[in-house]
Amino acid sequence: MTFNSAAFLVFLPIVFAVYWLLQRGSLNWQNRFVLAASYFFYGWWDWRFLGLLMLSTAADFGIGLWLERTEEQRRKKRILLLSLTLNLGLLGFFKYVHFFTDSFSVLANTLGWKVSPFTLQVILPVGISFYTFQSLSYTIDVYRRQIPAVRDYWAFAAFVSFFPQLVAGPIERAKHLLPQFAVRRQFNYDTAVSGCRLMLWGYLKKIVLADNLAPVVEKVFDHPAGQNGWTVALGAVCFALQIYGDFSGYSDIARGAARLFGFDLMQNFRTPYFSTSIREFWQRWHISLSGWFRDYVYIPLGGNRLGLPRQMFNLLVTFALSGLWHGANWTFILWGFWHGTLICIEQLVAATTSKRPLLAAWARGILVFLLVSVGWIFFRAKNLNTAWELLSKMAHFPSGGLADITRQFVSPEKAAATGGFILVFMLLEWFSRNSDVNTLFIRLPLAARWLSYYILAGAILLLGAFDDAPVFIYFQF
């Protein structure tokens, strides 16, 4: 089940109504109902993979209790290793088995060994990258004595499988979300309204921004042979906006849906395309994942405590693993290396120059957006050959300009409507860059606030791409 499906528009009101009817009962009934709804939501896609979710949940619940009862450090490490092996083993098998076997086969054949690729019909369970990392963060934090082990199985299972953020995040930490399952939720009108605002804004990002740009992106990246510098640049910028609208739109809908049930999820995006450095970009883009890799990979490797050369090595390793997390393809690893290298360059520049910036803020912002957009070429390309082909096309910019080239993809009317919407959307993003979009709405007078709701809903109905609308991009991760 996806947020932009008719099934979800039926599912959500029913779950909402039943959930709040249970608020007079015990807390356990609320949590059990959330768990049942979450399993139904996940099983709608493929019920067979519910077993993996249940296995990971039960194992880490027991491991958490085991870790808390254990005092001897070496034994604690072995217990934690059990959780790491189980979760990363499941993730590695279902997501990376073909990647590693195919890569080994290519390497062996290059060295002159005749090796046939090992193939299995393995289906990637949706959301496995997200819920394994969320569950792992719990056992690691219990191991570090940062949080106590939870003794309420139903609360823990609901935390792992909470349907608004189950399949594409945000990747919540136990210390933030798990305590919310330990207290009775009471319906709050203002919280529910703020959730509806977030969902409306998220649907606008997904259906109007992302899905309208998807056909242009597909024409560029799926047919690299017929492209030139103008079309590749157009495709890269469109994909930059598409993936932002798609993924941050999902996060907004998830946060909004959670608020309808009295839960607060972390903000996963904070206007990342207004960043003036690559480091700032990663403080604003997919915040839950970048924070996860910072706390559980970068800092344990030594962070910035062991000198600049080691810090740069740690950054490259962390970003390469972050790229691999996104998908079983060398394009994602190279995309991670691209961002890691850019941050290393920023570190070197900062270490060898004065504190005064070399460029004005607006110039740095444009440069960061261009560098991030180039990186998206690696991310979106099907393979390395396609990525290199598209990048090589950027050396050739024929006469005619971007306006004439754009007509190859969409009609002038469609281009004008989409361009106008993007301009208005980016202005709204700019005004909400230091706060939440809810704050932007609340500042408006009541009449203007309600008018804005109707305008956004009308924009979704009139400008939304409803025909063959693609699923959310991050469902494949």
What type of residue sits at position 307?
G
Residue 15 reports pLDDT greater than 80 = yes
Q: Return the structure tokens found at 132.
A: 């394994």
Residue 8 reports pLDDT greater than 70 = yes
3-class SS shares of the chain: helix, strand, coil, % to 5? 75, 0, 25
Whether residue 247 sits in one domain with residue 161: no
Number of structural domains found in the chain: 2
Q: Does the active-site annotation cover 98?
A: no
Segments forming the whole domain that contains residue 95: 6-187
What is residue 401's predicted lDDT score, i.e. its pLDDT? 57
What is residue 408's predicted lDDT score, i.e. its pLDDT? 63
What is residue 31's predicted lDDT score, i.e. its pLDDT? 92
**CA 291, 295, 300, 305 torsion: positive or negative?**
positive
Whether residue 291 sits in one domain with residue 156: no
Picking from 126, 153, 187, the residue at the C-terminal end of a domain is 187
Whether residue 217 sits in one domain with residue 153: no
Whether residue 444 sits in one domain with residue 411: yes
* Contacts (Cβ under 8 Å, ≥6 apart) of 112: none
Provide the pLDDT confidence category of residue 308 given band limits of 50, 70 and 90: confident
Whether residue 254 sits in one domain with residue 146: no
Q: Catalytic pick from 98, 176, 223, 326?
A: 326
Which of 91-100, 206-215, 393-402, 430-439 is the least confident region? Answer: 393-402
Residue among 455, 474, 442 nearest 250 (CA): 474
- Per-residue pLDDT tens digits for 374-422: 999 999 999 999 999 999 888 777 766 555 566 666 666 677 777 888 8
Mean of pLDDT over the chain: 87
Provide the pLDDT confidence category of residue 110 given band limits of 50, 70 and 90: low
The answer to whether 195 touches 256, Cβ cutoff 8 Å, is yes
Q: Examine residue 111 and state whether it is found in any structural domain, yes or no.
A: yes
Whether residue 164 sits in one domain with residue 148: yes
Q: Examine residue 417 and state whether it is found in any structural domain, yes or no.
A: yes
Picking from 160, 187, 214, the residue at the C-terminal end of a domain is 187
What type of residue sits at position 86?
L
Q: Examine residue 360 and state whether it is found in any structural domain, yes or no.
A: yes
The answer to whether 281 touches 221, Cβ cutoff 8 Å, is no
How many CB atoms within 10 Å of residue 49?
Answer: 18
Report CA dihedral (223, 224, 225, 228) to the nearest 10 degrees: 120
What is residue 281's predicted lDDT score, i.e. its pLDDT? 95
What is residue 102's predicted lDDT score, i.e. its pLDDT? 65
Q: How many residues does the chain have?
A: 477
User: What letters, b where the CB count within 10 A reaches 16 and e where it falls short, cover 307-332?
Assistant: eeeebbbbbbbbbbebbbbbbbbbbb
Picking from 121, 154, 187, the residue at the C-terminal end of a domain is 187
Residue 305, φ and ψ in degrees, nearest 5: -90, -10
Q: Examine residue 69 and state whether it is found in any structural domain, yes or no.
A: yes
- Per-residue pLDDT tens digits for 430-444: 887 777 788 888 888
Whether residue 388 sits in one domain with residue 359: yes
The answer to whether 166 touches 250, Cβ cutoff 8 Å, is no
303: alpha, beta or left? (left if phi > 0; alpha if psi -120 to 50) = left
Kindly state the percentage of the chain with pLDDT values over 70. Answer: 90
Residue 234 reports pLDDT greater than 60 = yes
- Burial (Cβ within 10 Å: 0-12, 13-18, ≥19) of residue 299: middle
Q: Examine residue 441 and state whether it is found in any structural domain, yes or no.
A: yes
The answer to whether 157 touches 123, Cβ cutoff 8 Å, is no
> CA Rg, the chain, in Å?
23
Residue 358 reports pLDDT greater than 60 = yes
The answer to whether 202 touches 250, Cβ cutoff 8 Å, is yes
Terminal alpha carbon distance of the chain:
16
What is residue 122's predicted lDDT score, i.e. its pLDDT? 63
Q: Return the structure tokens found at 197.
A: 């605002």
Whether residue 354 sits in one domain with residue 278: yes
Higher pLDDT, 163 or 409: 163
Whether residue 204 sits in one domain with residue 175: no
Q: Examine residue 1 and state whether it is found in any structural domain, yes or no.
A: no
Residue 109 reports pLDDT greater than 70 = no
The answer to whether 213 touches 239, Cβ cutoff 8 Å, is yes
**CA 237, 239, 245, 247 torsion: positive or negative?**
negative
Judged by DSSP in three states, 329 sits in coil
What is residue 169's predicted lDDT score, i.e. its pLDDT? 77
**d(Cα 441, Cα 198) in Å, to the nearest integer?**
10
Whether residue 358 sits in one domain with residue 256: yes
Mean pLDDT of 46-60: 89
Q: Return the structure tokens found at 286.
A: 């997919």
Whether residue 197 sits in one domain with residue 113: no
What is residue 121's predicted lDDT score, i.e. its pLDDT? 61
The answer to whether 364 touches 275, Cβ cutoff 8 Å, is no
Q: Examine residue 445 and state whether it is found in any structural domain, yes or no.
A: yes
Residue 314 reports pLDDT greater than 90 = yes
Whether residue 196 sits in one domain with residue 175: no
The answer to whether 57 touches 34, Cβ cutoff 8 Å, is no
Residue 49 reports pLDDT greater than 80 = yes
The answer to whether 289 touches 171, Cβ cutoff 8 Å, is yes
The answer to whether 139 touches 133, Cβ cutoff 8 Å, is no
In a 13 Å sphere around the CA of 337, the CA atoms on its Cβ side amount to 6
- Per-residue pLDDT tens digits for 129-153: 889 999 999 999 999 999 999 999 9
What is residue 205's predicted lDDT score, i.e. its pLDDT? 92
What DSSP letter does each residue of 448-474 carry, written as one string?
HHHHHHHHHHHHHHHH---TTPPPPGG
Higher pLDDT, 398 or 247: 247
Q: Examine residue 390 and state whether it is found in any structural domain, yes or no.
A: yes
In a 13 Å sphere around the CA of 216, the CA atoms on its Cβ side amount to 31
Tell me the three-class secondary structure of 60-98, residue by residue.
Answer: HHHHHHHHHHCCCHHHHHHHHHHHHHHHHHHHHHHHHHH
